[in-house]
Structure 1
Amino acid sequence: MDIAALSMSLSQINLSQAVGISVLKLAKDQTTEQSQQMIQMMERSVQPNLGGNLDIRG
């Protein structure tokens, strides 16, 4: 294999790796954002007084 072909092959490999890393970073950022939104939703749904008293008198 000549040097030009080897150089081109390595360049394509580097580009492929860079694209893969970028896609993974986007997925990680999106997952982090969704997790934070879920935490906020759960915090808003908390009702501390709900279930605190039980009336068993019939």
Structure 2
Amino acid sequence: MDIAFISMALSQSKVQQQASISVMKMAIGIAEQQGEAIHKLMSTSDVTAIQHAAQPHLGGNIDLKI
């Protein structure tokens, strides 16, 4: 067995695991932020805010004919 090769493989494995954990922590943070935003939105009684959040593209333009 080549000890240097095994050492490099273990080191690369450790770096990959650390990167994976870092990405997972970022994803968890984003999910928590989205959950808090949804909770805040659902706790409001403002119907227009809820409708705008569900369909933000509606109501931005008005067609007028003269």
Same fold at TM > 0.5: yes
Q: Distance in 1 between matches of 2:30 and 2:14?
A: 24
What is the TM-score normalised by the length of structure 1? 0.73
For structure 2, the 5+ residue unaligned runs are 48-66
Structure 1 runs (4+) deviating above 2 angstroms are none
List runs of 5+ in structure 1 lacking aligned partners.
Answer: 48-58
**Does 1 or 2 have the higher relative contact order (CA < 8 Å, sep 6+)?**
2
Query: Computing the radius of gyration over CA atoms, which structure comes out larger, 1 or 2?
Result: 1
Identity of aligned residues (%): 38
Coordinate RMSD, CA, aligned:
1.6
